[in-house]
Amino acid sequence: MYNLTVYASDHLVPAYCDKNGWTIIQSRGQHGNQKDLFYKGWKDYEDGFGVAGNKYVPFSLANVNLMVLSFVQEMSTGLD
């Protein structure tokens, strides 16, 4: 677990880094969750939900934070 500093603010975003150094932006939690787990409204994704780093709880980093973080510098995305 670590905190990302959002560009040009004092706002800290809790984030989780996997063993390869990638920041996790979304995780579905343990297998066996209901199929509609990520069928949420725009506001849920805008604000983010869940707990970063908890493998049993679904997680999505807030879209507004993703936008700010990716605006500051070039980023790479990986899917696993």
pLDDT in tens, 15-59: 788 888 888 888 876 666 667 777 888 998 888 888 777 777 778
Residue 68 within a domain: yes
Q: Check pLDDT > 70 for residue 8.
A: no
Whether 77 is in a domain gets the answer no
Classify residue 8: in a domain, yes or no: yes
Residue 18: inside a domain, yes or no?
yes
Structural domain for 9, as ranges: 2-32+39-72
* 14 vs 21, higher pLDDT: 21
**Strand duo 26-27 + 23-24: pairing:** unpaired
Which residue shows structure tokens 């696993």?
Answer: 80
67 belongs to a structural domain: yes
What pLDDT does residue 33 have?
66
CATH number, domain of 11, equals 3.90.215.10
- Please count the structural domains in the chain: 1
